[in-house]
Amino acid sequence: MANEFAILNQQGAARAGALTTISGRVNTPVFMPIATAGAVKGMLAEEVADLGAQIILSNTYHLILRPGLEALKKLGGIKNLMNWSGPLLTDSGGYQVYSLSKLTKLREEGVEFSSHLDGSKLLLTPESSIQAQGIIGADIMMQLDQVLAGGADYADSKLAMERSLRWAERCLTTRDSDYPHRLLFGIVQGGSFLDLRERSAEGLKLLGFDGYAIGGLSVGEERADCYRVVKKIAALLPVDQPRYFMGGGMPEEILYYVSQGVDMFDCVLPTRNARHGQIFLWKEDPKEAVKKAFALAQTEAPSEAVAEALYNKVNITNECYILDASPLDQWSDYLPGQQYSRAYLRHLFRAEELLGLRLASGINLGFYLRMMSELRGVIMAGGNHAESK
RNA sequence: GGGCUGAUACUCAAGCGGUCAACGAGGGCAGACUGUAAAUCUGCUGGCUAACGCCUACGAAGGUUCGAACCCUUCUCAGCCCA
């Protein structure tokens, strides 16, 4: 395929770029809010867009179960259904191989799921996953991969990595024949073993994808292993293609990955933690906070110090907020975050009012998305221009 | 005036002689969450202690017993019933 990715500027290993899809352009580094089952939980698509989301992520497995591919075909895909007009990336179902491992049976042909809803059998193969992603309406498809829990041993990691590579090739073939204008990303596997990771990356590069993801991390492995893998592998991936860290992470981790040259991210943390009453509040003006934190992130792995430069992690249900009439976050890009008080949000959570989930989700998503836009600004303003490379 | 039933920690509510500082639920306090089976899950919740442990406790006061939240007596309060 033609190269859809342009690097606009670099600062160290970090890049600011632009990825073109058939549904529009995505400026990187980018955070993709997760709409697993066709909804960013608690938020309307246009609210998510207003907060600065450029692209969102949905899940093949969940959407196959419901509303189902037949319905999606008739409804014009999930984007049409949920009123999202921008680019969409879909996960292949590979993550569910890990998260629903008790309900899966792995074969070379593919993964057999027993639906977590009704136990019915569903065979997901590299081919059927790509076809499903096509019907769902993905602009960026992910290969089907085999994700293992963190801490898997060498032998298992090797087998899963090799199988993922074989599946990658089958996904590519299907994409080329059925959906030639959609982008397809390969996924680097290999657990915490650098030599396996390296072989995975080399194998994928030989096949040639539109982008490369680093997968199988943030699944219970040692944090330091994860950072080590990203540092090593990001540097091995093609310079002129987007790199996607799947599933992570905390804000300070994303900053670190960006500093290592990763361009794309997704994570449930902002929305899930919001629903659980944990919100990210800016430490100071986002512009300053991100600039400082990113400077720190370039010199060390994710740390308390970076986190503290960026945000206050607040469990809003804590007693100390009961009388706190101050705004949730004066810098929030989500307007209600400026307008409503901490005492109110605490009350909403205690009273189990649905509005609380929504307010918190807006605040956290606003935080993540603003962090990314500030980050793009920092990198664009940074030293070495792409031309000089 | 007489009879019956009941009184357990913030609330509701188990327990009916030792294994009870006392099941469970709610409430309260705190924590976790990383390509979402998650509006979920975990821990704590009499006092003192980092912990072992010690102390005070099951309406009140006595009593029986090696030992009582549990048995007995009286009292207080509440509900129901009969005059």
Six-digit token pair at A65? 């179960």
Residue A195 bears catalytic tag = no
User: Each residue of A155-191: pLDDT tens digit?
Assistant: 999 999 999 999 999 999 999 999 999 999 999 999 9
Closest residue, by C-alpha, to the C1' of B30? A318
Q: Can you point out the beta strands (E) in A169-310?
A: 183-188, 211-214, 243-245, 264-266, 278-282
Q: What is the DSSP string of A42-93?
A: T--HHHHHHTT---EEEEHHHHHHTT-HHHHHHHTHHHHHHT--S-EEEE-S
| Contact flag, residue A215 CB and nucleic strand B, below 7 A | yes
Q: Which residues contact A155 (CB under 8 A, 6 or more apart)?
A: none
The nt closest to A354 (CA vs C1′) is B39
| Contact flag, residue A292 CB and nucleic strand B, below 7 A | no
Residue A91 bears catalytic tag = yes
The nt closest to A92 (CA vs C1′) is B35
| Contact flag, residue A381 CB and nucleic strand B, below 7 A | no
The residues of A between 122 and 181 with beta carbon within 7 Å of nucleic strand B are 142, 145, 147
Nearest-CA neighbor of A241 among A107, A354, A140, A119?
A140
* Beta-ladder partners of A25: A20
The residues of A between 4 and 33 with beta carbon within 7 Å of nucleic strand B are none
pLDDT lower than 50: segments of chain A? 1, 385-389
The nt closest to A277 (CA vs C1′) is B39
The residues of A between 227 and 246 with beta carbon within 7 Å of nucleic strand B are 246
Q: Are A255 and A282 in contact (CB under 8 A)?
A: no
* Beta-ladder partners of A282: A311
User: Each residue of A44-73: pLDDT tens digit?
Assistant: 999 999 999 999 999 999 999 999 999 999
Six-digit token pair at A54? 């450029």
The nt closest to A314 (CA vs C1′) is B31
| Contact flag, residue A273 CB and nucleic strand B, below 7 A | yes
Candidate list A145, A210, A266, A333, residue with the active-site label? A266
Place of tokens 């221009």: A385
Domains annotated on chain A, with CATH: 28-91+126-264 (3.20.20.105), 275-388 (no CATH)
Cα–Cα distance measured from residue A260 to residue A245, given in angstroms and rounded to the nearest whole number: 11
pLDDT at A150 (0 to 100): 87
| Contact flag, residue A36 CB and nucleic strand B, below 7 A | yes
- Phi, psi torsion values for A282, nearest 5 degrees: -60, 140
Report the SS3 class of residue A242.
Answer: coil
Q: Which residues contact A39 (CB under 8 A, 6 or more apart)?
A: A82
pLDDT at A387 (0 to 100): 42
The alpha carbon dihedral of A157, A163, A167, A168 has a sign of: positive
Cα–Cα distance measured from residue A356 to residue A37, given in angstroms and rounded to the nearest whole number: 21
Is the complex ipTM higher than 0.85?
yes
The alpha carbon dihedral of A377, A381, A384, A387 has a sign of: positive
- Strand arrangement of the beta sheet that strand A121-124 belongs to: A104-106, A111-114, A121-124
pLDDT at A300 (0 to 100): 83
Q: Chain B positions under 7 Å from a protein CB?
A: 27-41
pLDDT at A383 (0 to 100): 66
- pTM of the entire structure? 0.93
Six-digit token pair at A306? 């970076």
Exposure class string for A107-130: b at 16+ Cβ within 10 A, else e: eeebbebeeeeeeeebebbbbbbb
Closest residue, by C-alpha, to the C1' of B39? A275
The nt closest to A352 (CA vs C1′) is B39
